[in-house]
């Protein structure tokens, strides 16, 4: 399959959609220096899965300017769930907060400003959905804790998991090994059922199984 052709077709067919796009979101954002955010097809997938499963308690690791958080919150707002999102760059977090307010979703989001590597191991709260989109080097390091705080039946979704097969700029090559480690951890974990989706830079979607059926 020619994924460039596929992406062009999908982007074109959605161009009349009234949904908030990544481009519009970035254009409205004053701060211009931030780490890239998810693509529109990943935002559509997250919104759809949230619409279907209605997770009460969502954890996002890696907020940036809050495009993915806002996209998810637009659906969470419809049924009254909550999103906790973690970002350690204070400038970017401040911009994300402004973006939540301008989208009218701030009441459904708790923004934790700090290092996910320190915050996650201390977390006791349990989540129905965890969206992992932080520094890729943290993916394997945070895996056990993500599994611990994910409820049975909960979803673990991680972005950028197809880095190993993408034509990445040389400066990102150091991120391939941790992603490979993370993918192995997810795929070989007896507590998870998973699959890859070739959207964005590759999503892995996993569900935590009922322990009795292991």
Ligand X SMILES: C[S@@+](CC[C@H](N)C(=O)[O-])C[C@H]1O[C@@H](n2cnc3c(N)ncnc32)[C@H](O)[C@@H]1O
Residues lying near ligand X in the complex (CB under 6 A) are found at: 35-38, 62-64, 66-68, 86-89, 92, 115-117, 133-135, 138
- The distance of closest approach from Cβ of residue 149 to ligand X in the complex, given in angstroms and rounded to an integer, is 16
Complex with ligand X: residue 36 or 153, whichever CB lies closer: 36
Which residue number, 75 or 193, has a Cβ lying nearer to ligand X? Answer: 75
Task: For residue 175, give every residue at least 6 positions away whose Cβ sits within 8 Å of its Cβ, in sequence order, or none.
Answer: 136, 137, 160, 163, 168
Are 131 and 49 spatial neighbours (Cβ–Cβ below 8 Å)?
Answer: no
Of 125, 159, 145, 150, residue with least CA distance to 207? 150
- Considering beta carbons, is residue 181 or 209 the nearer one to ligand X? 181
User: Kind of pairing, strands 150-158 and 203-208?
Assistant: antiparallel
CB 199 within 8 A of CB 45: yes
Q: State the minimum distance, in angstroms, from the CB of residue 118 to ligand X.
A: 8
Site of tokens 């804790």: 145
Locate 30 and state its tokens.
Answer: 């004053």
Nearer to ligand X, 60 or 128 (CB): 60
C-beta closer to ligand X: residue 55 or 62: 62
Say whether 147 sits in a helix, a strand or coil.
helix
Smallest separation (angstroms) from ligand X to the CB of 210: 29
Task: With beta carbons less than 8 A apart as the criterion, state whether 129 and 53 touch.
Answer: yes
CB of 212 to ligand X, least distance (A): 34
Minimum CB distance to ligand X, residue 39 (Å): 9
Overall size of the chain counted in residues: 214
């Amino acid at each position: 399959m020619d994924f460039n052709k596929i992406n062009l077709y999908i982007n074109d067919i959605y161009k009349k959609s009234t949904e908030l796009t990544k481009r519009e979101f970035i254009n409205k954002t004053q701060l211009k220096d931030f780490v890239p955010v998810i693509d529109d097809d990943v935002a559509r997938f997250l919104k759809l899965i949230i619409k279907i499963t209605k997770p009460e308690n969502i954890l996002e690791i890696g907020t940036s300017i809050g495009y993915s958080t806002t996209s998810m919150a637009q659906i969470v707002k419809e049924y009254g769930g909550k999103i906790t999102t973690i970002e350690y760059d204070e400038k970017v977090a401040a911009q994300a907060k402004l973006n939540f307010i301008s989208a009218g979703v701030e009441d459904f989001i708790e923004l934790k400003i700090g290092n996910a590597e320190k915050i996650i191991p201390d977390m006791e709260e349990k989540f129905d959905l965890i969206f992992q989109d932080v520094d890729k080097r943290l993916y394997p390091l945070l895996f056990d804790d993500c599994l611990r705080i994910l409820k049975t039946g909960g979803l673990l979704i991680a972005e950028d998991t197809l880095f190993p097969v993408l034509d990445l700029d040389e400066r990102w090559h150091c991120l391939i090994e941790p992603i490979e480690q993370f993918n192995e951890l997810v795929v070989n974990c007896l507590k998870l059922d998973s699959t890859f989706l070739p959207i964005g830079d590759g999503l892995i979607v996993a569900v935590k199984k009922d322990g009795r059926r292991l």
